[in-house]
Amino acid sequence: MHHFQYRNGELHAEDVPVRELASRYGTPLYVYSAATLRRHFQAFDSAFTGVGHLTCYSVKANSNVHLLRLLAEMGAGMDIVSGGEMHRALAAGVPGQRIVYSGVGKQDDEIRAALEADILLFNAESVQELERINALAGQMGRTARIGVRINPDVDPKTHPYISTGMRNNKFGLDMEQARAAYLLARDLPNVQPVGIDCHIGSQLTTLAPFLEALDRVLDFHERLRDLGLAITHLDLGGGLGITYGEETPPHPKEFGEAVSERLRGRGLSLILEPGRVIAGNAGILVGRVIYTKSTPSKNFIIADAAMNDLVRPSLYQSYHRIAEVQPAGRDEITADVVGPICESGDFLARDRILPGMQQGDLLAVFSAGAYGFSMSSNYNSRPRAAEVLVDGASARCIRKRETLADLVAPELHAEE
């Protein structure tokens, strides 16, 4: 459930008309609902009450520091994949003991900063990374808690770009490589192997791949125990899908019950890394129709929101529901919703049945709270959108719109 609903003939974000937000802050505009974020986090986190756990929000889904702070105040940890994401998490008030660091390419300065912050653990994804963490920890006189990311070779049945747990993906190590990595970690002086990590992909709409991967990881945990390794944490990653259109993903409660049943009595503390399921339907992208155009073969609705604002439709051919902010009751047409970017791949929807929108109309692109702004860019030298957080009847800007001066400032001052 989300808190973007129509009242009195127009779309509201909680108690605030979206029309008013567009007037105040301009478009394109990302609008987030605090009530939805809270509701989704609580629904997910409470699903695992039967087992000791830490819910670490996946910062890459939406990294605005104000949203991170809101989640941190509810007890969330953070799953990070870069030094920049760690900086954001710390700025949001998240203690290091609630931060888990994943990712295949951790650099020296990032590792040092994470050691300085005393994060909960690193999820190492290669033997060379494990050795590097050990060396840097030794230089700093510290001991790094680590897990090894296992690639269980499970097909998540999702888009290939967001599949991460199959043998041809860049992430993690297969079981035999991981076993060797744990034996190495056991003997390295500056790391302490305490976790197992497994993440198989994103936007999963069935539990079967999760549970298949979990069963393989639990079998592997038994092997590690036989080797004398005291593993205390199991990081099961994230990936639970949301409804963009017709999908019917499992409820977190169903997920929690299935996982908790398998973990009962094993003495493992669970780490979870939800991102999209928390933030996805907590945000919309608001745009304004600039022009409409009809050719002998197509109708086009040309909006000020483009692929640089929301790249998912172009990159993944993903579906996002699009609707009028103020429905006018016009006849429906089949149209492409496109932006001003100089690319044929710049579209938010193709061959979509929509009301015949007109110049100046506002449109809302739903389910844009995850991997929307965080993947946005300045392509075509377009300033990035503003972000607004609505909480009940109040709204505040949580990221100001970039200006043309912002675009060139790093270049003009490059040699200072």
- Is 342 an annotated catalytic residue? yes
Q: Is 343 annotated as a binding residue?
A: yes
- Please return the burial class of 195, using the count of CB atoms within 10 Å of its CB with bins 0-12, 13-18 and 19+: buried
Instruction: Return all residues near 390 (Cβ < 8 A) that are at least 6 apart.
Output: 13, 14, 15, 16, 21, 31, 32, 33, 34
List Cα–Cα distances, 296 to 44, 75, 293, 299, 300, in angstroms. Answer: 49, 56, 10, 8, 11
Residue 246: CA count within 13 A, CB half-sphere = 0
Q: Is 145 annotated as a binding residue?
A: no
Quick check: 376 and 309 in contact, CB under 8 A?
yes
Quick check: 276 and 241 in contact, CB under 8 A?
yes
User: Before 252, cis peptide (omega within 30)?
Assistant: no
Instruction: Return all residues near 84 (Cβ < 8 A) that are at least 6 apart.
Output: none
Q: Is 189 annotated as a binding residue?
A: no
User: Residues 56, 198, 342, 397: which is the catalytic one?
Assistant: 342
Instruction: Return all residues near 72 (Cβ < 8 A) that are at least 6 apart.
Output: 78, 89, 92, 93, 94, 98
Quick check: 110 and 118 in contact, CB under 8 A?
no
Instruction: Return all residues near 137 (Cβ < 8 A) that are at least 6 apart.
Output: 115, 143, 144, 190, 191
- C-alpha to C-alpha distance for 111 and 129, rounded to whole angstroms: 10
Q: Is 273 annotated as a binding residue?
A: yes
Quick check: 163 and 150 in contact, CB under 8 A?
no
Q: Is 131 annotated as a binding residue?
A: no
- Please return the burial class of 344, using the count of CB atoms within 10 Å of its CB with bins 0-12, 13-18 and 19+: exposed
Q: Is 275 annotated as a binding residue?
A: yes
Q: Is 372 annotated as a binding residue?
A: no
Quick check: 207 and 172 in contact, CB under 8 A?
no
- C-alpha to C-alpha distance for 230 and 221, rounded to whole angstroms: 9
Quick check: 144 and 106 in contact, CB under 8 A?
no
Quick check: 383 and 406 in contact, CB under 8 A?
yes
Closest CA to 351 of 340, 374, 335: 335
- C-alpha to C-alpha distance for 332 and 153, rounded to whole angstroms: 45
Binding-site entries for substrate = 276, 312, 316, 343, 371
Return the active site residues: 342
Residue numbers in the known binding site for pyridoxal 5'-phosphate are 239, 273-276, 371
Binding positions? 239, 273-276, 312, 316, 343, 371
